[in-house]
Structure 1
Amino acid sequence: MKDIQSLPPGPKPHPFFGNLLEFQRDQLKFVERMQRTYGDMVTMHAGPRPFVLLFRPEYVRYLLTEHPRDFMATQSAGGDLMEVLGESLLTIEGEAHRQQRRLVQPAFHKKRVESYADYMVQYTQEMLDTWHEGEVVDIAQAMQQLTLRIVVRSLFALELLDQIDEMGRNFSQMIEHRRSLLARLLNIYVDLPFTLYGKRMSAKRRIDAFIYKLIRERKAEGQDHGDVLSMLLATQDEEHPLSEQQIRDHVITFMAAGHETTANALNWTFYLLAQNPEPREKLLQELQTVLAGRTPTLNDLPNLPYTEWVINESMRVYPPVWAMGRKSLVPFEMGGYHFPEGMTFLFSQWVIHHHPDLWQDPNTFRPERWNPENDEKVQPWSYFPFGGGPRICIGMPFAQLEAKLLLATIMQRYTPRLIPGFPVVPKPRVTLRLKHGLRMKVERTATVVKDSVTMI
């Protein structure tokens, strides 16, 4: 390895922890400060080990699409995913990743994903039937329950309304209860009920029991239920058949990612719409004009461009995945620096999506910037909410369809309003969560019909 001085500039590391204590204190502000202070390539330390923060689109492109086989994915942004997700598309590498992705890809083909549209809308309508004018709703909890119910139906063709609360809590425990910083640095694992690691593993075991029971029941039945699990059981490569463990790993990853990212994207969208009356009214006007009070269908989506721009802009301002990591498998040069094999890199959607050199008024929520008729051009790789390259999120079409249908269905009937003084605080984990949830007052959506105002 070259002398550390040959690496990009960065903050001075402290003994033992390096820069991790500052990073852990407020990860979003830390990476923002690093870019402002040191530029678009910054060295920080996890304990004694250096790793590099990258804040330019061309660096992201180099790692993800120009030389993807020279890097392996790392969970440096979210930590310890392998222990709960196993060997899934998020955690495996190389030829194993390519082979497994080829096997599971049919579950996410366009026609199959679009077949889920009707019950995405149906489940949203059923949720809205339980809401009442003026009621205060924890939108974050409601979106988690709704998106989890949808993904369970997609994966297993099951209605688990009575168990959704418990499953949501289990997934939250798996995501939230990471080992302490000291335990991770010392590589300590204490699987006891009172430890964070123990609570995480307990939640994992409960979810595993549910998934393995279902896998074995389906194998015994031998029937195609038209869901993702049926496809995984039927998609068996002669040379590399999927084991029960592999099916479990894929399914738990699809469950976790399939509801977590969409729920967070919708949470931040409702928050931004509540804060910005003009975009909210433009969205409602589009929904009124196209849908005229009825629920949306798959065929309506091409006629709802502003709805799509709202979601795109929300994922720019509050990206559901706020950072990603890679580790180099070979030495290479980039940006005037020589990097050795084994160097870890972290590139942040949070910073790049707000970079003032890449975006006009980057901190302003302005869906119109996505209008292709405007002169604003989005520089390639300045926006990558789903990652990119060979490891781009396999569930991206599912998430995009779900977000548009759910947003349109909800806003047709209810407009969530902010409660004065309620603390809205980002909580960066694997995804960008809300620290205190999102309690909002739901009001019936008003629509103008001729000269009068009616309630949908």
Structure 2
Amino acid sequence: MFISILASVSVAVLLAALWKVLPNVIKSLFSPLRALPGPPSDSLFFGNLNAINNAENSVLHEEWLEKYGDTIAYSGLFNIRRLFTVDTRALNHVLTHSMDYQRSEEGRYHLARVVGPGVLVTEGEQHRRQRRVMNPAFGPAQIRDLTEIFVEKSVRLRDVWAAELAKTSGPLRIDVLSWLNRATLDIIGLAGTSPCVDF
């Protein structure tokens, strides 16, 4: 009896997983991304994700871009092809046609768990409404008032990097993303409490 129930539950879970994943796998088989150059898949299940996770930040992507060009496709989970580009015309097109290039429902869900259900997560008309409400706080006059904070923190960041460079006589690798995150948080903190900001 118990084995029968366990088998039924296992089959139900497997069918539910297939129902959720199979459409994406089939769509990927006919995706135009398959025609783009890119690295071969390392795994049937994980694609290139293990290699990306094991590599140092952006090093693997840089190697792929050097080898295959500015726009590539690599394999994600279940070998579903993913687009990666540094082509400025392509990026401009995506950013200026945001209604055509929306995040997947799953992507929005996971992002919302990290940053909350705000303007970074919403799409479509709801996103437009939220931006309309926020726009007055980010007009040219408001940004001009904050320029001093941006410059001050940028100069401070430059000085920190110069000090790190002075400690060594050879080449130095700096985790720029980590430092930019710190500078961004400082700027947001100072700008949010600045008396010239009128939200």
- The change in CA–CA distance for 1:98 and 1:417 in structure 2 (over 3 A counts) is same
1:15 matched to which residue of 2?
A: 44
SS at match of 2:58: helix
SS at match of 1:417: helix
Amino acid at match of 2:40: K
What is the distance in 1 between the residues matched to 2:62 and 2:101? 25
Match of 2:175 in 1: 426
SS in 1 for 2:121: coil
Q: Which residue does the alignment assign to 1:39? A: 69
Give 1:53 shift.
1.0
For 1:433, the aligned partner's letter is S
* Residue 92 (1) aligns with residue 119 (2): no
1:112-261 map, 5 Å: 112-115=142-145
Change (3 A) 1:401 1:16: farther
Does residue 417 of structure 1 match 2:166? no
Q: 1:33 to 1:93 in 2, by over 3 A?
A: same
Once residues 69 and 161 of structure 2 are traced to their aligned partners in structure 1, the CA distance between those partners, rounded to angstroms, is 41
Q: Which amino acid aligns with 1:26?
A: E
SS at match of 1:70: coil
Q: CA deviation at 1:416?
A: 5.8
The CA deviation at 1:421 is 4.2
- CA 1:36–1:416: 2 relative to 1, 3 Å: closer
Give yes or no for the alignment of 1:3 onto 2:30: yes
Tell me the SS of whatever aligns to 1:16.
Answer: coil
What residue in structure 1 maps to residue 88 of structure 2? 57
Q: Which amino acid aligns with 1:9?
A: P
The equivalent position to 2:59 in structure 1, one of 29, 32, 35, is 29
Q: Greater strand percent: which structure?
A: 1
- Letter of the 2:151 partner, please give it: K
Partner of 2:113: 83
Distance 2:161 2:87 in 1: 37
Structure 1 residue 32, shift from structure 2 partner: 0.8
Structure 1 residues 424 and 36, CA, compared in 2 at 3 Å: closer, same or farther?
Answer: closer
Distance 1:417 1:18, change over 3 A: same
Tell me the number of residue pairs that the alignment of Structure 1 and Structure 2 aligns: 143
Give the alignment's Cα RMSD to 1 decimal.
Answer: 3.7
Uncovered stretches (5+) of structure 2, i.e. residues with no partner: 1-26, 183-199
Cα 1:47–1:425 shift into 2, 3 Å = same
Q: Secondary structure at the match of 1:92?
A: coil
Q: Which has the higher contact order (CA 8 A, sep 6+)?
A: 1
Output the TM-score relative to the length of structure 2.
Answer: 0.57
Alignment of 1:231-380 (within 5 A): none
Shift of 1:91: 1.0
Query: What TM-score, normalized by structure 1, do the two folds share?
Result: 0.27
Change (3 A) 1:50 1:407: closer
More helix by share: 2
CA change 1:55–1:406 in 2 (3 A) is closer
Give the secondary structure class of the aligned counterpart of 1:52.
Answer: strand
The 2-side partners of 1:407 and 1:55 are apart by 24
Structure 2 counterpart of 1:420, which letter? K
Supply the distance in 2 between the matched residues of 1:23 and 1:42 (Cα, whole angstroms): 14
